[in-house]
A and B are shown apart, each in its own frame.
Chain A
Amino acid sequence: MTSIAVELPSVATREEWLAARLELLRKEKEATRLRDALSAERRRLPMVKVETDYRFQTSTGEKRLVDLFEGRRQLVIHHFMWIDRVDEGCPGCSMLVDTVGNLAHLNAANTTLAFVSRAPIRKLEAFRARMGWSIPIVSSAGTDFNYDFEVTLDPSRGAMRYNFRDVSDVGGMMASYTGDLPGVSVFLRDDDDVYHTYSAYARGTEPESNIFGFLDFTPLGRQDGRDVMPWARLHDRYDA
């Protein structure tokens, strides 16, 4: 475990603490209301019909996008990043899979959660077995899925766009990056028709990783300084 030198909070009386806490509570409630307002705006977004017939590889054979709904009306896909250099799943995405608990509540809300990755199903299955995950990871290998939803950058596969921007406009490392990037996409099913309702990228995917939700309540916080998650490791690598 990396021990981080931290400044401890100042010790106060209960009254002093309470005054500070109440001031923060007021702002927390504002943020809750803003979150509700944005969720309401999100529900009012229009949607786009998915015309491409994507074919995914799964542990139980080939599936279409509509099959991934498993009969439910809504499908949330986390685009699981594969790191070619080390030939394993991305630690941040793996941490997200580690937050998946009992899906009964999500499913009761007519919603299926799926992870989709560009790696071949054989590699995904081996990695899943190593990590002990019960939720499947579906392979989009050989399809345009990752490129169409702008989570894999490859100049030979079309427009280089991430988080709704051309990467040439973003500049820096992004301008020459090739490979996967984090994202989430949401789909709605109307009989056999599938519609794309929402995608988010970069820090837009943070609320789903409730590791942050827990750590954000603590005095040491995420302990990541200016970088996002430099500490995230695969859960079997913390003691390495």
Chain B
Amino acid sequence: MTTTAEPLAHRVFPMLPLPRVVSPDEWRTERLRLLAREKELTRARDVLNEERRALPAVLVRKDYAFETATGPARLIDLFEGRRQLIVYHFMFHRETGEGCSGCSHLADNVPHLAHLNARDTTLVFVSRAPLAEIEPFKRRMGWLVPWHSSWGSDFNYDFHVTLDESVAPLEYNYRTGPALEASGLPPHFAGELHGVSVFLRDGDRVLHTYSTYARGPEPMLATYAWLDITPFGRGEGWDGMPNLGIPLRHHDRYDA
């Protein structure tokens, strides 16, 4: 017997429950009910954005050293002359020589940088791994965003994306102690976690304005925004969505 391997994305999922079929008028009635709730969420998002802009900022006093494709750099150099810097704390696994698949998913969602740059904003990735280990993976994945190394500096520990209790008490997503353990992190966890930190430049001063972790960076993931409006959703099997059985992989590994 021969079988033809079907591309993963074309697999049929016969067991998926389909939405019920209704008339256009019935659909419209239900859609309008949801629309009212969607507008609530849009307004809630606007309020959050306002509050985020109203956050105070903390002066960065430490002179962090980074290794970049163009040589050694300080935090202020990463702005490339712009006013705002968004750092995505990219988890790099030295043992496999690869970035984490979730962070790689985010990297696959990075937009054409012209629009961010035009808003005086530079986006970079920073990983706690030597640059020589990062660059082959970056080339393999075809990403263009600047990706710097914080290897040897306190940067990742200070912004709570590398945890190691021999360096600092464990903290992630603003949680410590029992609250951190309750979040599902194994006791004595040591290693990389993901996050986003935002900095503002005022002359030669650098201010830290914001950091977010765990599900906080999700609004950057256009993939999820597209999937969230579909009947199967993210296909991850939680919250009533079907489980498509396809965990996140590196983009060149789905057909493996």
Contact = CB atoms under 8 A, between A and B. Distances in A.
Interface of A: 1, 3-4, 8-14, 16-18, 20-22, 24-25, 27-28, 30-32, 34-36, 38-49, 71-74, 76, 95, 98-102, 104-111, 113, 163-164, 184, 186, 188, 190, 195-200, 203-204, 206-223, 231-233, 235, 238
Interface in B1-48: 7-13, 16, 18-24, 26-28, 30-32, 34-35, 37-38, 40-42, 44-45, 47-48
Contacts of B107: 101
A41 B31 CA distance: 10
Contact of B121 (A31, A32, A95, A215): A215
B170 interface: no
Nearest to B110: A101
Contacts of B222: 99-101, 208-210, 213
A12 B60 CA distance: 11
Given A27-B48, A208-B222, A9 B200 contact: yes
B196 interface: yes
11 contacts: A9-B54, A17-B58, A20-B56, A43-B231, A43-B233, A48-B22, A109-B223, A109-B227, A196-B27, A208-B225, A213-B220
Interface stretch (B68-76, B132-140, B184-192, B236-244): B236-244
A34 B41 contact: yes
Contacts of B20: 46-47
A27 B50 CA distance: 12
Given A212-B219, A222-B119, 14 more contacts: A1-B120, A34-B44, A43-B19, A101-B110, A104-B252, A164-B35, A186-B230, A188-B18, A188-B230, A213-B222, A217-B52, A218-B200, A232-B115, A235-B112
B49 A111 contact: no
A146 to B, nearest CB: 17
Contact of B18 (A25, A36, A190): A190
Given A46-B26, A99-B109, A104-B108, A41 B37 contact: yes
Contacts of A186: 229-231
A43 B198 contact: no
A105 B251 contact: yes
Contacts of B52: 24, 216-217, 219, 221
A42 B110 contact: no
A196 B11 CA distance: 21
A107 B9 contact: yes
A147 B130 CA distance: 55
Interface residues of B, number: 102
A218 B112 CA distance: 18
Given A9-B56, A220-B83, A45 B30 contact: yes
Contacts of A34: 40-41, 44
Interface stretch (B91-99, B149-157, B161-169, B209-217): B209-217
A238 B112 CA distance: 13
A159 B109 CA distance: 37
Given A45-B19, A218-B198, A164 B28 contact: yes
Interface string B240-256: 11001010110110100
B89 to A, nearest CB: 13
A107 B174 CA distance: 34
Contacts of B9: 71-72, 107-108, 110
Contacts of B48: 24, 27-28, 31
Given A32-B215, A190-B18, A220-B119, A43 B241 contact: yes
A36 B233 CA distance: 10
B234 A10 contact: no
B84 interface: yes
Given A101-B108, A214-B86, A219 B210 contact: yes
Q: Which interface residue of B45, B48, B218, B234 has the most chain A CB atoms within 10 A?
A: B45
A150 to B, nearest CB: 11
